[in-house]
Amino acid sequence: MSGLMRVCIKDLNSNIGNSLIVGIIIGKRRWNTFSSLTKAERAVWSFTLRDSAQDTINVTCWGSVTYIQTLHDSFHIGDVVDIIKAQIRIRSPGERSESFQPVVNSPFALVYNEGQSQLQFHDGDNINYYTSMMQIPSKKISGTCSLYDIQNSATSMSGVNVDLLVGVRTVGPVKTVTAGNEQKKVRNIIVMDQTNSGIPIALWEEDDIIRASQWEPRKTVLFISDCRIAIRNGSHAILLTPQTIITANPSIKASLELVNFMSNSTPIPISHSFIVPENIPNPEFISNVISVAQLIKKMEYFNSNPNIEVQFSGVTYAFITDFNLETQSVVLKCGICKWKIDPQIGICFNQDCPAGSGSELVAPNKVFDILVSLADHTGEIKNVHLLDDSAEKVLEMKV
């Protein structure tokens, strides 16, 4: 197009008016609507663009609801696009909107306005140059957090954003759930690394749900930037945020090491924090008496050796020193496999379970899950889960 100036992200400045920027979409958020007292309902949508190994920028699109929805539905993660005549604005790191955008290196942001700007598929002969960038992590991997660190952080990491380098253990089917008055699609995956056998993640964004169809269990590695740690029902959960960018099979040495670990390791049960213990022997037939100090020592050993099965049986004679009813004390568990269920999702994560795989529709059960502290003459152990029938017997009541 005549009068346009082809510009790379690294060369942008706010004085350029008729710019043409070519790049690949590496991240995409859902579109939203907002109302104004003086104007008709409008919509906004944002995505993240990369045009080199080093340079990324966020793009925010404004327009009518129909226009923005069409734009959102037409362009996806992995598309190489031309952005024409977008406004180049200097970013203000302190702005509230920055907390809803992925981390980028450009000091500028692109503002796309309906009727003034254009977005189209790039048709040049350099498509492969851009598509190869899909395997470049969106951030430096030196700050990644292990699943072990998350699992053993108690409450200190709740609400904290972290970066993860993980392997895909399982990919579940696409399911439809009711959230408020809406029907939403969700797909559950379970991720693992060298320190933890698996933690589930729910994918809610359509692009992520579609991309997950190409992720091979125990072969695909994901770099997940700025996901958030939450504690639900006493367990740690990983939540994707508007700041999150998922890079599949990043071209880094650590990715190859994780693939090698997954291919050579024997599958073991998923992390016990997401499982309600089952097949517990009748206490009358358990002869192994264990003190609180011995129990703590066992747990420390299992925490430092995450690839070892952690369920064992023993009898401990102790006092209850704390009975926590301030946190959520009633949880959902699968009616078949007894796994804990996130109440906001309402479905089982266990892909080996008929309910989790989608082959059977089974309503979840409500059970007690109360955190208590136990002590004897050797010490005290905190955050012990008093579960299900045992809790009902202690409380002398049903859920």
Q: Which of 91, 107, 133 is the last residue before a domain boundary?
A: 133
Regarding whether 305 and 344 lie in a shared domain, the answer is yes
How much is the pTM?
0.73
Q: List Cα–Cα distances, 212 to 175, 229, 248, 274, 370, in angstroms.
A: 13, 21, 9, 22, 35
**Residue 275 per-residue DSSP state:** B
Q: Give the structural domain span for 317.
A: 275-395
Handedness of CA 300, 160, 276, 224 (dihedral sign): negative
Q: In sequence order, what are the residues at sequence separation of 6 or more whose Cβ sits closer than 8 angstroms to the Cβ of residue 133?
A: 24, 26, 50, 52, 53
Regarding whether 364 and 380 lie in a shared domain, the answer is yes
Please report whether residue 83 resides in a domain: yes
Regarding whether 150 and 127 lie in a shared domain, the answer is no
Q: Which of 264, 295, 316 is the last residue before a domain boundary?
A: 264
CATH number of the domain bearing residue 66 = 2.40.50.140
Regarding whether 185 and 239 lie in a shared domain, the answer is yes
Please report whether residue 205 resides in a domain: yes
Regarding whether 106 and 90 lie in a shared domain, the answer is yes
Phi, psi of 33 (to 5 degrees): -110, 155
- Looking at residue 233, its pLDDT comes to 56
Regarding whether 244 and 171 lie in a shared domain, the answer is yes
Please report whether residue 269 resides in a domain: no
For the chain, what is the total number of helices (H) and then of strands (E)? 8, 20
Please report whether residue 80 resides in a domain: yes
Structural domains counted in the chain: 3
Q: What is the pLDDT of residues 160-181, one digit of tens each?
A: 899 999 999 988 888 887 766 7
Regarding whether 185 and 72 lie in a shared domain, the answer is no
Regarding whether 237 and 293 lie in a shared domain, the answer is no
Beta bridge partners of 63: 43
Alpha-carbon span 153 to 359, nearest angstrom: 35
Burial 28-50 (b: 16+ CB within 10 A, else e): bbebeeeeeeeeeebbbbbbbbb
Regarding whether 178 and 162 lie in a shared domain, the answer is yes
Beta bridge partners of 46: 60
Regarding whether 241 and 182 lie in a shared domain, the answer is yes
Regarding whether 255 and 311 lie in a shared domain, the answer is no
Which residue ranges of the chain lie beneath pLDDT 50? 271-276, 278
- Looking at residue 21, its pLDDT comes to 95
Please report whether residue 114 resides in a domain: yes
Q: Which of 264, 298, 324 is the last residue before a domain boundary?
A: 264
Regarding whether 325 and 390 lie in a shared domain, the answer is yes
Please report whether residue 162 resides in a domain: yes
Alpha-carbon span 192 to 40, nearest angstrom: 47
- Looking at residue 35, its pLDDT comes to 77
Alpha-carbon span 61 to 68, nearest angstrom: 7
- Looking at residue 151, its pLDDT comes to 78
Please report whether residue 270 resides in a domain: no
